[in-house]
Amino acid sequence: MSLSAFNSPVKVLIADDSAFMRTALSRMVQSDDSLCVVGTAQTGPETLTQIDRLQPDVVTLDLDMPGFSGLEVLKRVMHDSPRPFIVISSLAQEGAEATLEALELGAFDCLAKRINYGSLDIVKVQDELVGKIKAAAHSRGNARRYSRRVHRPFSPPAPSLSLCTPAVVAIGTSTGGPKALQEVLPALPADLPVGVVIVQHMPPGFTGPLAKRLDALCHVHVHEAEAGMALARGHVYLAPAGQHLTLRRCSPTQVVMHVSSTPSDVPHIPSVDIMMLSVAEVFRSLAMGIILTGMGADGALGMQAIFREGGLTVGQDEATCTVYGMPRTCAEMGVLKRVVPLPEIPRQILSALGYRIAQ
């Protein structure tokens, strides 16, 4: 379903305690003819009233509002009348942790709040906000279409004898990724015989709290990657937001992390492509690449590189994706050896590594 399927522009409600932010966000949303701001709200109670009265398709939500918090708004609405929320969060530590909780509660995506915008920042943030609202509206339109397919029975294909046992697992994801990772990583055992590297598109300051949250849920150890860290079995490394993560081989037995803010002329920092291209170069046929839910096409070139080197490539299926963008691009390029629902991803990893999987 495309936005053209809507008979009228996508209705957006702006909820923020700052008059400046309400005005700025409204102007950004109204810059696109397919979107329409139907109202604004300053407090938690007012937000609930406006949602009930205006029935917006998408809500941009400040988490720090008077009356009661955006998290309380989210809890009530997702229980009574679910709809997509784009969280507009501060960059403070508390804001990052609250945003992660909001994503767990069902928020569609997040956007970092900045008090002062330069002209270039405004264009970039505006494009990002508009894109996320459109994707959120699209996901709501598709929700009923795929609801019956999410839990269908699945029988994985028999593993090919020509595939090598992976020596590393590389995962790329964006919108919907935090919840997806919370389903995949806790299913991995503490004695996982490989290291896992992940790029999750998030604003700077958010990946550290995400790594800590995941670490508390998992048997494996989850870290925000730092320069010089050695890739170790049973450990998961999350690329720091605002920096690319690549792997470099120092010796036949040691591979280390490298983080850098360059190249800067790419749509996403960190980039799934840049991470996976380095994985393909270092590990060749011993790489396993996994592409999960997310907007856009980041990761397609990296997955293609792993595929061409003879590594195992797995994509999340359309029915279980929050946004079927990144996996779709890989599927259309023909670089996925397997396409599976999200709950099957851990089994694919363990099967490839030689674990006996209970039937």
Q: Is 17 a catalytic residue?
A: no
AA identity, residue 239: A
Q: Is 127 a catalytic residue?
A: no
> Could you give the strand order of the β-sheet that contains 168-173, starting from the edge strand earlier in sequence?
221-224, 235-238, 195-200, 168-173, 287-291, 312-316, 338-340
Q: Give the count of alpha carbons within 13 A of 268, CB side only.
A: 27
* Catalytic position from the list 201, 235, 244, 268: 201
Q: Is 31 a catalytic residue?
A: no
Distance in angstroms (rounded) separating the CA atoms of residues 56 and 35: 11
Question: What is the 8-class DSSP label of residue 324?
Answer: B
DSSP characters over 194-227? SEEEEEE---TTSHHHHHHHHHHH-SSEEEE--T
* Catalytic position from the list 32, 64, 273, 298: 298
Structural contact between residues 233 and 193, judged by C-beta atoms closer than 8 angstroms: yes
Select from 169, 276, 180 the least CA-distant residue to 231: 169
Q: Where are the alpha helices (DSSP H) in the chain?
A: 19-30, 44-54, 70-80, 93-105, 119-146, 177-184, 207-217, 272-283, 300-308, 326-333, 345-352
Distance in angstroms (rounded) separating the CA atoms of residues 82 and 84: 7
End-to-end CA distance of the chain: 36
Select from 12, 77, 85, 87 the least CA-distant residue to 48: 77
Structural contact between residues 309 and 288, judged by C-beta atoms closer than 8 angstroms: no
Distance in angstroms (rounded) separating the CA atoms of residues 344 and 338: 11
Q: Give the count of alpha carbons within 13 A of 45, CB side only.
A: 2
**Cβ count near 17 (within 10 Å):** 18
* Catalytic position from the list 89, 90, 139, 174: 174
Task: Enumerate the active-site residues.
Answer: 174, 201, 298
